[in-house]
């Protein structure tokens, strides 16, 4: 071995030795049975009881929002696209475009409530939410969709 390779080997050993853990006699032994106290996060401004009540209220709201296909995420009762297509082909449905100034035109008597598209008024596609309005017929595919959708 040459003098250079011996020096490199010693330098490498010294360098790697710096990354080794110290002997166990220097560091205290780690106990596997150490206990740790766990705390719950409670936001500022809440007591433990008020935070529990708030979380319970939020869970109730979330549970009430299930089955969004029934009422839709924006509060209107929708129908499936398949049902709409079938009704469109039969001539029983038409494309619904939003009505401008709907509230003003409704108040002046220019429009009836059933003339406003159901998504805009927050109602049902079959006009069941409008008192005195002629209801639209349900197709077999509407009943399938309302009963839990297509599987």
Q: Give the separation between CA 130 and CA 115, rounded to whole angstroms.
A: 10
Question: What is the model's pLDDT at position 47?
Answer: 92
Q: Are 59 and 79 in contact (CB under 8 A)?
A: no
Please determine, for residue 22, whether its predicted confidence score (pLDDT) is greater than 80.
no
Q: Which of 145, 128, 129, 151 is nearest to 67 (CA)?
A: 145
Per-residue pLDDT at 33 exceeds 80: no
Q: With a cut of 80, say whether residue 16 has pLDDT above it.
A: no
For residue 49, CA distances in Å to 12, 42, 45, 54, 77 come to 61, 10, 12, 9, 38
Could you tell me the two tokens for 67? 């089955």
Q: What is the pLDDT of residue 48?
A: 92
- Kindly report, residue by residue over 54-89, the tens digit of the pLDDT: 999 999 888 776 655 555 555 677 788 888 888 889
pLDDT of residue 39: 83
Q: Residue 5: pLDDT band by 50, 70, 90 thresholds?
A: confident
Is pLDDT at 146 greater than 90 in this prediction? Answer: no
Instruction: Of 58, 57, 77, 59, give the one whose Cα is nearest residue 67.
Output: 77
Lowest mean pLDDT among 12-16, 35-39, 90-94: 12-16
At 94-143, the pLDDT tens digits run 888 888 998 899 899 998 888 888 888 888 888 888 888 888 888 888 88
Between 151 and 7, name the one with better pLDDT. Answer: 7
């Amino acid at each position: 071995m040459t003098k250079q390779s011996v020096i490199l080997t010693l330098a490498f050993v010294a360098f790697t030795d710096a990354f080794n853990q110290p002997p166990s006699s220097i560091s205290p032994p780690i106990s596997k049975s150490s206990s740790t106290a766990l705390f719950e996060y409670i936001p500022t401004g809440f007591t433990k009881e008020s935070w529990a009540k708030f979380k319970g209220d939020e869970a109730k709201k979330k549970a009430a929002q299930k089955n969004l296909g029934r009422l839709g995420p924006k509060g209107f009762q929708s129908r499936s696209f398949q049902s709409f297509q079938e009704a469109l082909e039969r001539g029983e449905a038409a494309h619904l475009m939003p009505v401008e100034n709907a509230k003003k035109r409704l108040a002046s008597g220019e429009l009836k409530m059933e003339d406003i598209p159901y998504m805009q008024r927050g109602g049902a596609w079959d006009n069941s939410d409008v008192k005195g309005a002629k209801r639209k017929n349900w197709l077999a595919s509407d009943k399938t969709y309302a009963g839990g959708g297509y599987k």
